[in-house]
Chains A and B, each alone.
Chain A
Amino acid sequence: MISVQHDDFSISRECEYLVEPGISGAVATFVGYVRQFSEDRKAEFFLQHYPSMTESVLEKIEQAAHKNWPLQKTRIIHRIGKLEVGEQIVFVGVSAAHREAAFAACQYIIDILKTQAPFWKKEGERWVEAREKDNQAAEKWLTKETNDDR
């Protein structure tokens, strides 16, 4: 399930959603936060996105994770709009029978999201630049997917 929203989320509530009692053996989660980016306390942090494309990209990432690993549930929440330093930005959670699939799928989802989902961060007056390290992290998974399909 995916959500793109301004409202904050509760990690414990999302974990409850992910766990299927007696069936789930593992839940892995990733939470991203707004880091302090300026000495200026009035500097604003803002997240822009491309409505409708965002949702379709996130759904595709979720489907690909289910295809690649034996997962039970997946949950992606990404916040948008004006956020404060220290606030939660993104939640990725997956449940599975065993930890290997849970860890891998959780990392896969956030790595692909960071390079494909149309979100842009603005710190004060400055738009954040994309990092090559993020591209490499996503590329690693995508190369693996192509090889596995052969």
Chain B
Amino acid sequence: MHIKLRYFAQLGEALGRSEEILELAGPCSLSSLKEQLIGRDSGWKKLSEAHIKCAINQELVFTDAALKDGDEVAFFPPVTGG
């Protein structure tokens, strides 16, 4: 299945990308996706920082969730608009 990943603000800059498509072999949860990303290299450890927020299909999530084909998962730092 395919998951679209998006990274915003200083997180996207630190990771050197704002989005990517990830192909996963089988069913995957948000937590195992995160683990996989964090395992890429030391720079990706940023994703595990407590203040980093996560949204699945544009909805903030605070707990683990099962991902399905075509989902969009976004990671970003606390918002600073207004």
Query: Interface code B1-28, partner A: CB below 8 Å = 1, 0 otherwise?
Result: 0000010111001000000000000000
Evaluate whether A49 and B81 lie within 8 angstroms (CB atoms) in the complex, with A118-B8, A122-B9 already known: yes
Query: Interface code B65-82, partner A: CB below 8 Å = 1, 0 otherwise?
Result: 000000000101111111
Q: A120: which of B58, B60, B74, B76 is its contact (CB, 8 Å)? A: B76
Q: Tell me the smallest distance from the CB of A4 to a CB of chain B, in Å.
A: 10
On chain B, the number of residues with a Cβ less than 8 Å from chain A's Cβ atoms is 18
Q: Tell me the smallest distance from the CB of A89 to a CB of chain B, in Å.
A: 7
Number of A-B contacts (CB under 8 A): 72
Answer whether residue B61 sits at the interface, using C-beta atoms and an 8 A cutoff. no
Q: Which of B47-61 contact A (CB under 8 A)?
A: 51, 55, 58-60
Q: Tell me the smallest distance from the CB of B52 to a CB of chain A, in Å.
A: 12
Q: A residues bordering B, Cβ < 8 Å? A: 32, 47-50, 52-53, 56, 78, 89-90, 110, 113-122, 127-130, 134
